[in-house]
Amino acid sequence: MTKPYVLDFSEVGNGDVAIVGGKCASLGELFQQLTRQGVRSVDGFSTTSHAYEVLLETDGLRDRLKKLLKGLDVNDLDELARVGAEARRLMLETPFPAEVETAIGEAYKRLGTRIGKMNYEVAVRSSATAEDLPDASFAGQQDTILNVRGEQRIIEACHECFASLWTDRAISYRTVKGFDHFDVALSIGIQPMVRSDIACSGVMFTLDTESGFRDVVVINGAWGLGEAVVQGMATPDEWIVFKPTLKQGFRPIVTRKLGVKEVKMVFADDGTGTQVRDVVDTQRNRFCLAGFEVLQLATWACAIEDHYSKLAGRPQPMDIEWAKDGITGELFILQARPETIHAQNTANYIETYKLTGTHGAPLATGVAVGEKIGHGQAHVMLDSAKLNTFKEGEILVTSMTDPAWEPIMKRASAIVTDRGGRTCHSAIISRELGIPCIVGSGDATEKVKNGTDITVSCAEGERGNIYYGKIDFKVEKQKITDTERPKTQIMMNVGDPDHAFAVSRLPNDGVGLARLEFIINNHIGIHPMALVNYPRLRNKADVDIIAARIHEEDPKEFFVRSLAEGVGRIAAAFYPKPVIVRMSDFKSNEYAMLIGGKEFEPEEENPMIGFRGASRYYDDRYKAGFKLECLAMQRAREDMGLTNITPMIPFCRTVEEGKKVIALMAEHGLVQGENGLEIYAMCELPANVVFADEFLEVFDGYSIGSNDLTQLALGLDRDSEMVAHLFDERNGAVEKMVAMAIDAAVRAGKKIGICGQAPSDYPEFAQFLVERGINSISLNPDTVLQTTKQILETEKKALAAK
C-alpha cells in the first residue's frame, strides 16, 4: 500500500503513530476522541514522516548529510555552528517532490472547507518521532511557525520545519542523548490559528512541576500567543487547581499568582508572521483568565489525562497547550503530550537542600524551579552569539533562553533568567538537567556582576534567591519506605503552603498544626483590620502600599481569597487526611508589624499573655478581622470541597469564652457539626487542663501546645535567655498536666494530640505520651521518619510489657 504524505486529523488513528510522529498523532487523536467528551480542540492535518523520508532521498540528501556529520564533536561550538548551518542549507535547497507539495496544498483546501474559510492563517507545528520520551523531552528542539497564510507560504514553512531538525541545538541534543540522527523522523501538524494574539494563551501540567505532586493542575497564562510563555519572554500568571474535588464539582483553585506579563506575541502588522509588543500596565495588573475559565481548562486537563492514562494503562501526567480566541471568547486545547520529568521519577527518597553558611540579603529574587542549591561564578550573557565563551560549572545569568542556548545549559551549575515562569524553556530544561534555576527575576542581569561568585538557592520556598558569594549548604536524603505504621498517628506541623506538596510525600497521618500566621505574614502581609477599614486609614503611606498590593480586588476579598488559597493548598496536599488549622494567634506586637497594624494594636508590657487567641475573636477591636478568617475557612471547606480542614482555637482562657467563639463562628458559616465540621481547641493553659472535662464538652478535640503549657506551668518566659535552661517539657509538673489532659480526653471519647518538638527531641517523652494513650503526635517534617521509628519501638515494648 502506498504510504500517504498527508493525513487529516479525522483520519489519524493509533496505528498511524509510527508514521505520523508523536505530537501530530496526539493532535489528531486528541481532536477525534476528546471532542466527543466536550473538550474543545483544534482541527487540522499533518504531513507524515514518509514525506520527510522522501525529501531525504531527493538528490542524495541523506548521504550528503551523513558525510557532513561524520566525526562532529558537538562540544566544539564553532564547528557545531558550521555543520548545523550547512545541514540546514542543504535541507532548504533540496526541493520538495511535486507530489508532496500537491498533497499539502490539497489538505489545506480540505481543512478550509471544514472550517468554512479560504486563505486562512495556520500554525505549522513540527513533531519529531523521538519527542516527549521518558528520558528526553526534546523540548522546543524543532521549530513552530505561527500565522502562516496561503498554500505557497505553508509549503515554505513546512520546508523550514524540516530544516529545523538540523539546528545546532537539535544536533547537540540528539548526540548527547544517544540518538542516531537518521533514526529520528519529522512530521508537521498544521492547525488553524486560534486568535489568542488578541486574548491569551499558555501551558498547563496535570501535576505540580516542582514537587511532582500528582493531584493538581498547574496552569500558566499570559496575554497574546503562547510562544511568549513557552520561550520565557513573559512571566505568566499561575493558577493551581486541586483535581480530586474539582471532579466532585467544587471550585478548588488553591493558588493564583499574578505574573508580570512583560510582553506579548501578536500577529505581525504586515499580516503574516509574529511580532513582540510590550504589555500595557492595565493588562499587567490583572489576570488573563477569569476563575470560571481556569476551572474549565483544569476540567479539560483532567479529561485529557484520564484519556491518555487509559491508553497507556498507567497514570500518565500531561503537558498541555491552550489558547483563548479573542474574537469568539472560546477556549481551545492546542496540543497534549506526556510530561517527561516527574512521570518517570520512582525515587524512594526525599532530597532536601539547606543553606548552612551565613549570607546577606539576596541580590535578586525570582520564581524557584526545583528545590536545589548551586553555586559558582556568574556568567552574565545577553547574546547567544557568544555561547562559546561559557565555561563548565559557571552559572548562566541571562534575560531568557530558547533551544539555541541548550549546548551551554548542560554545562551550567545553575541558571538565572530575568523573564519566564515555571513552564518556560529555561524551567523545563533545568528540571531535565537536574540543576537549580530561577526564572522571572526581573533584574538579575543588572544586579549580578559578571565573574562574581554567587549562590542560587531554590530551597527556601517558591521564591528563589541569588546571594553573593559561595555559601555552604548541605543535602539530606530521607528514604521513604512503606513500613508498618504505629497505632499512634504521626502528623506534621506545616505552615508554608509552598512546601506542602513536597512534604506530603513523607509517611504521615495528616497535619496536626497548620498556623494561619505564616500565611497571613508571608502571603498577605497586611493587618486584617487595615483591610476592613481600607482606605480609611490614618497613615496614607499604608493606603498606597495596600493599593499596590491588592490592585483592583476588593480588600476584604483579597484577604479571604489569599487565606483560603493558602489553607486550601495545605489541605489539598494531604487530602483526605485531616488538616488541623489553628486560627490566628499573633501577639499584639507581632500583629503591629503587619502593614497598617500599628493603628489597630495596643502596646502591651507582656504580649505573650495579653491580647491574643480566642480573646481577640469576639472583641470589637478584632471581631471583623476574625470574620474574614472564618469566611476563608468556609470557602476552603465549602467552595473548594476540602472538608478535611478542622479549625482549632488557640489560647482559650475560659469555657464561656470557648462557647462565645463557637457561636461567632456559626454566625460566619462555620456551624459545628454541619458537613462534618469539628472544632478543636489548643490545650496550652493550666485552665485548659484543670477544666479539661468542661472544655471538651464544648470542643470536639484537644491539641496540647507544649510550649505555652510548659512556660505557664513553670512560670517562665520562654523567650528569656536567662531562664531558658529551666524550660523542659519533661518537668514533672508539665508531664502531670499532659497526663491529666490525655485522661480527660479518653474519658470524653474525644481526640487529643500534641504539636511540638519535645517528642522528637526526647524519646522518653514520646514514650510517656504513647503510654498515656495520646491519639496523635505532630512533628516538624524533618523529624517524621526518625520519630516514627522510635514510636513504633515504644509501642512494641509497651505491648510486650503487657
Catalytic machinery residues: 425, 755
Pairing relation of β-strands 776-779 and 751-755? parallel
Q: Report angle CA 148, 152, 155 to the nearest 5 degrees.
A: 75
> Is residue 580 a contact partner of residue 511, using CB atoms and an 8 Å limit?
yes
User: 135: exposed, middle or buried (C-beta count within 10 Å: 0-12, 13-18, 19+)?
Assistant: exposed
Amino acid identity for residue 579 in this structure: V
d(CA 727, CA 756): 13
Residue 655's alpha-carbon distances to 178, 564, 585, 662, in angstroms, are 71, 28, 18, 11
d(CA 645, CA 570): 9
Task: Supply 581's cell numbers.
Answer: 488549622
* Residue among 533, 524, 519 at smallest CA distance from 585: 519
> Is residue 227 a contact partner of residue 209, using CB atoms and an 8 Å limit?
no
Backbone angles phi, psi at 701, to 5 degrees: -175, 170
> Is residue 569 a contact partner of residue 218, using CB atoms and an 8 Å limit?
no
CA 795 to chain centre: 38
Helix (H) or strand (E) holding 354: strand 349-355
Write a three-state SS string for 250-283.
CCCEEEEECCCCCEEEEECCCCCCEEEEECCHHH
Report the 10 Å Cβ neighbour count for 653.
Answer: 14
Dihedral sign for Cα atoms in the order 362, 387, 134, 91: positive
d(CA 437, CA 417): 8
d(CA 672, CA 278): 52
d(CA 41, CA 60): 39
Residue whose cell numbers read 494567634? 585
Residue 246's alpha-carbon distances to 221, 249, 498, 511, in angstroms, are 20, 5, 20, 22
Backbone angles phi, psi at 238, to 5 degrees: -140, 140
Sheet strands (E) in 384-472: 395-398, 414-417, 437-439, 453-457, 463-468
Q: Helix and strand tally (H, E) in the chain?
A: 31, 30
Q: Between helices 22-35 and 291-312, what is the axis angle to 10°? A: 110
* Residue among 756, 513, 524, 498 at smallest CA distance from 645: 513
d(CA 74, CA 91): 20
Alpha helices in 668-731 (DSSP H): 686-690, 692-698, 706-714
Q: Please enumerate in sequence order all residues whose Cβ is within 8 A of that of 642, keeping only pairs 6 or more positions apart, or say none.
A: 242, 245, 252, 567, 568, 571, 572, 575, 579, 636
Backbone angles phi, psi at 231, to 5 degrees: -85, -5
d(CA 687, CA 651): 10
Q: Report angle CA 418, 497, 611 to the nearest 5 degrees.
A: 115
| Helix, strand or coil, per DSSP, at residue 746 | helix
| Helix, strand or coil, per DSSP, at residue 401 | coil
